[in-house]
Structure 1
Amino acid sequence: MRIDLITLFPEMCERVLSESIIGRGRKKGALQVCCHQLRDYAHDKHQRVDDTVFGGGKGMLLIAEPIAACFDDLTETLGKKPHIVYMSPQGRPMNQTVIRELSQYENLCILCGHYEGVDERVLEAYVDEEVSLGDFVMTGGEIPALCLTDAVGRMQPGVLAAQECFEEESHYDGLLEYPQYSRPQVWRGHSVPDILMTGHHANIKKWRHQQSVLRTAQKRPDLLQKRSLSKEDWEFLEQQNLVEQSQN
């Protein structure tokens, strides 16, 4: 997969995406990430990419032509148009379902807005969808774009050690992840659950699933409204006196 970021701060993005798991994935060729300086596509000597807003109002707006020129250049380089995402508080909220969908594209381009946003005409002409990190406003789209790149990038084959590394995590299957423990077996008087020391894989798998259901019911009962639980799951929650809470 190739991900292209269009930004006013490519050095900032490169620094983050060159570290840790994503950085290692890039180095071994499991993921390609390219950061483009929007100012390189400006048509004046001052590399200006913003202007005042028609109709009045405070702040500046990213103008259409440099963004369109960057999109056109990228499309020519790739030989086809990538799936273009604009990071915006008006977009659909980022969650694991969105991440799974976006991870299926061969080429993904992420536009980072700034100032008061982006000229609406270039969004209408090029952008396939808008995605939001949450119901709040940030100074720019770089941090949301980095979050999206990290979440999508780690799902690409070869970036993580094994597919199970993300398939068993919170939100992947609609449930929160079960609690996990490491050495020592007893830490400050608190012991690892006995079942994890038995080596009985089937029982451990069942316990982990039940803990995921329990943790979701306790912390995010709203998620259970979107996921079908088995009869055994509901019986387990009833034993924990959590059925009524989970159904509300």
Structure 2
Amino acid sequence: MKIDVLSLFPDMFSGVFGQSILKKAQEKSAVKFQVIDFREYSTNKHRNVDDYPYGGGAGMVLTPQPLFDAVEQLTSQSEAKPRIILLCPQGERFSQSKAEELAEEEHLIFLCGHYEGYDERVREYLVTDEISIGDYVLTGGELGAMVVIDAVTRLLPGVLGKEESHLQDSFSTGLLEHPQYTRPADFRGMKVPDVLLSGNHKNIEDWRRKESLKRTYNRRPDLLENKALSKEDEKWLQEIKDNKTT
């Protein structure tokens, strides 16, 4: 996958892209990152990328010309048609399913804005997706882009140590992940559940599924509203609701 980021502050990405999974993903040639200062595409003699909004109002608005020119150049160099993603509070709420969808693409271009927003023509005629990482406002789109890029990159083939590593992550199954334990089995009197030490893989899988349902019901019941459950899941969930499980 190729990921291009258009930002007025490209140095913000150097530490993020040079560490942990994102660094390993590049070393494994699973992804190639490029961060571009779109101010370089400004045709204004002062290299301005923003201007006052028509009709008046507070703040400045990003002008369309630098972003259009930058995206058009990147697109002309791409063998695949890229998804062009605008980070903004008005966008679709980012989710694991959206990360999985984007992970199937060959080329992503992220637009990171600042100031009071973008000229509306960027939304209407340039981008393919608008994404928000939550109902709050950040200084710019950079942090949002980092979140989306991290979530997408870890899903690429060969990036994680085991291909199944991400399959049981919270939200990957539509539920929150079950509790995890490691050694020692007894830490200061706090013990690992016996079932995890039993060696019975069927019982362990059943326990994990039940715990995942329980955690989702207790913490994010909204995730269960439209979730297709098996008859066994429904039975376990009813037991959880009746407080019959320990």
TM-score by length of 2: 0.95
- Once residues 22 and 64 of structure 2 are traced to their aligned partners in structure 1, the CA distance between those partners, rounded to angstroms, is 31
Q: Which deviations, in whole Å up to 9, do the C-alpha atoms of 1:32-51 show, x marking residues without a partner?
A: 11111111111134321111
Q: Which deviations, in whole Å up to 9, do the C-alpha atoms of 1:6-26 show, x marking residues without a partner?
A: 111111112212111111111
Secondary structure of the residue aligned to 2:77 is helix
Aligned residue pairs, count: 243
Q: One-letter code of the match for 1:211?
A: E
Matched, 1:209 2:209: yes
- Once residues 172 and 160 of structure 2 are traced to their aligned partners in structure 1, the CA distance between those partners, rounded to angstroms, is 15
Note the C-alpha offset of 1:212: 0.7
Q: One-letter code of the match for 2:64?
A: A
Secondary structure of the residue aligned to 2:33 is strand
Partner of residue 232, structure 2: 232
Note the C-alpha offset of 1:28: 2.1
Secondary structure of the residue aligned to 2:159 is coil
Partner of residue 117, structure 1: 117
What is the RMSD of the two structures over their aligned residues, measured on CA atoms? 1.4
Note the C-alpha offset of 1:241: 2.9
Q: One-letter code of the match for 2:104?
A: Q
- Once residues 242 and 31 of structure 2 are traced to their aligned partners in structure 1, the CA distance between those partners, rounded to angstroms, is 42
Partner of residue 163, structure 2: 163
Note the C-alpha offset of 1:104: 1.1
Q: One-letter code of the match for 1:74?
A: L
**Contact conserved, 2:80 with 2:106, CA < 8 A, in 1?**
no
Q: One-letter code of the match for 1:200?
A: N
**Contact conserved, 1:31 with 1:159, CA < 8 A, in 2?**
no
- Once residues 83 and 233 of structure 1 are traced to their aligned partners in structure 2, the CA distance between those partners, rounded to angstroms, is 37
- Once residues 80 and 206 of structure 2 are traced to their aligned partners in structure 1, the CA distance between those partners, rounded to angstroms, is 46
Q: One-letter code of the match for 1:236?
A: W
The structure-2 alpha-carbon separation of the partners of 1:201 and 1:114, relative to structure 1 and needing over 3 Å to count, comes to same
Secondary structure of the residue aligned to 2:241 is coil
Matched, 1:91 2:84: no
Secondary structure of the residue aligned to 1:115 is coil
Note the C-alpha offset of 1:242: 4.8
Note the C-alpha offset of 1:201: 1.4
- Once residues 185 and 216 of structure 1 are traced to their aligned partners in structure 2, the CA distance between those partners, rounded to angstroms, is 25
Secondary structure of the residue aligned to 1:240 is helix
Alignment of 1:131-210 (within 5 A): 131-210=131-210
Note the C-alpha offset of 1:122: 2.3
Q: One-letter code of the match for 2:197?
A: M
Note the C-alpha offset of 1:83: 0.8
**Contact conserved, 1:155 with 1:166, CA < 8 A, in 2?**
yes
Consecutive unaligned residues of structure 1, counting only runs of 5 or more, are 244-248
Secondary structure of the residue aligned to 2:34 is strand
Secondary structure of the residue aligned to 1:78 is coil
Q: Which deviations, in whole Å up to 9, do the C-alpha atoms of 1:184-229 show, x marking residues without a partner?
A: 1111211000011111112111111111111111111110112111
Q: One-letter code of the match for 2:13?
A: C
- Once residues 242 and 145 of structure 1 are traced to their aligned partners in structure 2, the CA distance between those partners, rounded to angstroms, is 42
Secondary structure of the residue aligned to 2:209 is helix
Identity of aligned residues (%): 44
The structure-2 alpha-carbon separation of the partners of 1:175 and 1:80, relative to structure 1 and needing over 3 Å to count, comes to closer
The structure-2 alpha-carbon separation of the partners of 1:197 and 1:111, relative to structure 1 and needing over 3 Å to count, comes to same
Partner of residue 73, structure 1: 73
Partner of residue 220, structure 2: 220
**Contact conserved, 1:174 with 1:226, CA < 8 A, in 2?**
no
